[in-house]
Structure 1
């Protein structure tokens, strides 16, 4: 769990600046309530992040 939280904070400039705030809320509430919502949110952000990488790759190749 800590690794995922750290990863999310580390990637927050790329996938949205509200990520650190979400982590603070997640750590300060009972985790069994927020873990499912957190993973859904994390997965949607990961898809957006992957799309950003693909776009960057295409632009880099020209």
Structure 2
């Protein structure tokens, strides 16, 4: 069951990073590029993904 947290955490972390970069207009070519909304949502999703990743990777 821990691997589910790791996989979902990695995916959320990567999505959050991409969304942040698109929101900051570092990655172009999307309707999300240059949008402040995605520059705020991205880091939130990335932090949630990091928490899930760490929770899944933590040993009991």
TM-score, normalised to structure 2, is 0.48
Which one scores higher on RCO, CA 8 angstroms, separation ≥ 6? 2
